[in-house]
Amino acid sequence: MSNPLGSPQPNPPQPSGVVHNNDPCDNPIATVREAARHAASRGRKELLETLSHEQQNAASANLSLNTIFTAHAVQNQTFEKLLKKYGDDVFQYNGGPGPDFTYLPTGEKIELTTPKQVDVHKVRPHP
């Protein structure tokens, strides 16, 4: 394309992402991260109290399960916060193997983990 003086115009920069004014969330990863930080700030004891009695008993009997169930509680509470803010048609909690959350408008998958587990999660196969 040329400008009125006849010299070529440089190509405009390509967008890094495409959004529109109806997107419910500007940054799904940051949104999940912020909700998870809020959930984790409640502390282990309060988080474990959000679980079923069976899960609480298992967590108190086994340190490994305590850590796993605490992470599970963070995920549950993160999803609860997302539901309250966005309703049930923006984020999906997958709750099984694979990425923990899906941002439904784009299908973006979001894995929630601790800093120590990032490398493990990066190499883990996902269905």
Both tokens of 67, joined, read 């850590």
User: Which backbone phi and psi does 23 adopt, to 5 degrees?
Assistant: -60, 125
User: Helix 63-86 vs helix 28-40: angle between axes, to the nearest 10 degrees?
Assistant: 130
The answer, yes or no, to whether residue 81 has pLDDT greater than 60, is yes
The residues, any chain, with a CB within 8 Å of residue 56's CB and separated by 6 or more, are 48, 49, 69
Whole-structure pTM value? 0.74
- Count of CB atoms situated within 10 Å of the CB of 112: 21
pLDDT value for 20? 46
- 26-68 pLDDT, tens per residue? 899 999 999 999 999 999 999 999 999 999 999 999 988 998 8
* pLDDT the model gives residue 38: 96
State residue 59's pLDDT score.
92
